[in-house]
Amino acid sequence: MNKFYLYLNKEDELGEIIEKIKRVKDKEIILVVPEKTKALSHSTNFELFKKEIQSLDKKIYFNTDDEKIKNLARQNKFPIFLEETEERIFDIKPPKKKKESEGEITFQPTKPKLIFNLKKFFIYFLTLFSLSILGFVGFRLFQTQAEITIETQKTLYDLNEVITLKQDQTLPDYENKILPAKYFEVDLIKTETIKTTGRVFTDEKPYLKVIFLNYLEREIPLVAGTRLSFEGNLFKTTERITIPSAKDNQPGQKSVLALPVNLKDETLKINKGADLKIVAWEESRVKTEDGSLFIDVIKAKVEEDYDYGAVTKIGSVAPQDITNVKLALEDSLKKAVASDLALKNPETFYLFEPDLVNIEITNISHNVGDKTDQISATGKATYETMKTNKKDFDDFVKNLINQEILRQEKKLIISQLRIDKIELLDFDAKRKIMTIGVKGQAILVPDLVPETLKTALQGKTIEETRDYFKIPGVDKVTIKIFPNWKEKLPSDPQKIKIVIK
C-alpha cells in the first residue's frame, strides 16, 4: 500500500499538524518532522496528538532525526519509518469460483503467488536516495561550519628575580616574593692523609720496614719495642700497633718500622719478603685458645729490601706539606657536605655555596721537619642553609612570571622554564632568612585552549574573530566558513574546528 509523505514545518502548532493530516486522503502517512519541532517535543502534546489520530482511522509513521521526538513516538506506539524492514510487495490473485457435483458453488482459494514488483521497488529506492541527497545538501547548506587555523610563535621571557626564603613564613607571599622555607645545619668530621714532600739524608742506621700478617679471626695488639730477629740480628718496633683480624680467607695486615738494636753483621742486607722471628713468642712458645702456636698464626716479613750500610734518604714534613694537607682536608670536607646534602634531600631545593662551609682543623699529625712519609689532618665542617620542596620552589617562580603576564594583560602561558643561575645575596642564620637571586629564561606561548576558543568565538563575525586573536605570539589566523556566503561563525561550538600550528 502506498504511503503519503507529509512534511511538517518546525514552527507548526499541534492543531495545524492535525489539520494537515486530516486533509490527506491516504490511510498511511509518513510524517517528516524537523528537529526541535516544539509542538511534538512534549509528552502532553504527544498524548493529545495520539487521541486525535485514533479518531481519524489513519496509520502514522514518524520520520525524524530528533531523538527526543523518536522516543516520544515509540512511547505512544507510533512506528518509526524504516526502523524495521518494510513489508515486501506482493500481487495476490483473487480466489477462483468452482462448481461442485452437488451443484452448489463454493470457493476454492488458490495458493498466493509471490511476485516481486521490480518497478515499484526501483521507484521506492530512487525516491529514498533522492531524499537522502537532498537532505545532505540541505544540511550542508543550512548548517554553518567553520575552520580556524592559528599560526603561533614563541615569546622569550628573561627571568631575573630576588626571592626571600623565610622560616616563619606560613604561605607564599607573591607580592613581596617571600617563600616559606626551613633552616637546617650539616656537621661532619673527616681525616685526610697525603704523602710528605720533604727528603733528608741521614747517617743514622736505616729502619727496617716490617709487615705483620694475622691469620686469626680476632685482632692482635703488639706493644712498641716488640723484638724481631733475622739470622741473629735484632730489631725493635717503633710503635704500638694492632694487627687486624683475618677476613674472607685473607690475613689481616699491618706495617710498622723497626730499629736495629743489635746487629752482628755490619753489611747486613735482607731481601723483601724474608721471614722474621718474633723473639718473645719463639722463646715462650705461647699458644692461642685453640692450641696453635702464635708463631704459626702471626707472621712477620720484611716489607722492602733492607741495606744496613746504605746512606738513608727518608721522608720529612716540608712547610708546604702542612698547607697541602689543610687544603686537601678542606676540599674533602666541602665535597662531603655536598654529598650529604644531595643524599638526604633528593626532592628538596636548597642553596649550597662551598665557600660558606665553616671548616675547623682540629689536629695535624706532624710538625715541619718531622721524619715521616705521610701526614694527616682532621677537621670539622659546619654548613647552614635553607631548604624547601623543589616543586614548591618551581611553582613559586612560575607564579611570579604568570603575575607579570597578567599585569601586562598578555594572553600567554609558560611552555618551558629554564633556571640558569641561583646566587646567594644575603643569609641571616639567626633570623633564619635567606635572600637569593634567580636568573633564567621562560618560553611563553599564546594561551589557546581549543574548547575555550570555540565557546568564545561562537556567533562572531570574521572581523570580530580577527580582533580576538590580536594577542602576542599569534602570527596569522586563517578563517574558513561554509557555506562561504555566511557572515558569522556557527552558534554551535561543535561546528567550529580549531587548528593550532
Q: Can you give the pLDDT at residue 483? A: 86
Q: Can you give the pLDDT at residue 92? A: 34
- pLDDT for 284-311, tens place per residue? 888 888 888 989 999 999 999 998 877 6
Average pLDDT over residues 133-152: 72
- Considering 326-330, 414-418, 480-484, the range whose residues carry the highest mean pLDDT is 326-330
Helix (H, G, I), strand (E, B), or coil: what is residue 268?
coil
- 312: confidence class by pLDDT, cuts 50, 70, 90: low
Residue 101: exposed, middle, or buried by beta-carbon count in 10 A (0-12, 13-18, 19+)?
exposed
Q: For 280-306, what is the HEC assignment?
A: HHHHHCCECCCCCEHHHHEEEEECCCE
Q: Which three cell numbers stand for residue 112?
A: 498466493
Average pLDDT over residues 2-11: 88
Residue 91: exposed, middle, or buried by beta-carbon count in 10 A (0-12, 13-18, 19+)?
exposed
- pLDDT for 36-85, tens place per residue? 999 899 888 898 888 888 888 889 999 999 999 999 999 998 999 887 54
- pLDDT for 159-196, tens place per residue? 999 999 999 999 999 999 999 999 999 999 999 999 99
Q: Can you give the pLDDT at residue 153? A: 81
The model's pTM: 0.48
Q: Which three cell numbers stand for residue 205?
A: 742506621
Backbone angles phi, psi at 479, to 5 degrees: -115, 125
Q: Can you give the pLDDT at residue 313? A: 67
Q: Is the pLDDT of residue 94 over 80?
A: no
Q: Which three cell numbers stand for residue 357?
A: 662551609
> Which residues make Cβ contacts (< 8 Å) with residue 263, sequence separation at least 6?
205, 233, 234, 308
Across 58-197, where does the E strand assignment appear?
59-63, 96-99, 105-108, 145-152, 155-166, 178-180, 182-195
Q: Rounded to an integer, what distance in angstroms lies between the CA atom of residue 406 and that of residue 412?
A: 9
Angle at 54 between CA 52 and CA 58, to 5 degrees: 105
Q: Which amino acid is at 53?
A: I
- 112: confidence class by pLDDT, cuts 50, 70, 90: very low
Residue ranges of domains in the chain, CATH in brackets: 4-98+108-140 (no CATH), 145-153+448-500 (no CATH), 204-310 (2.40.30)
- Centre a 10 Å sphere on the Cβ of residue 148 and count the other Cβ atoms it contains: 22
- Centre a 10 Å sphere on the Cβ of residue 265 and count the other Cβ atoms it contains: 12
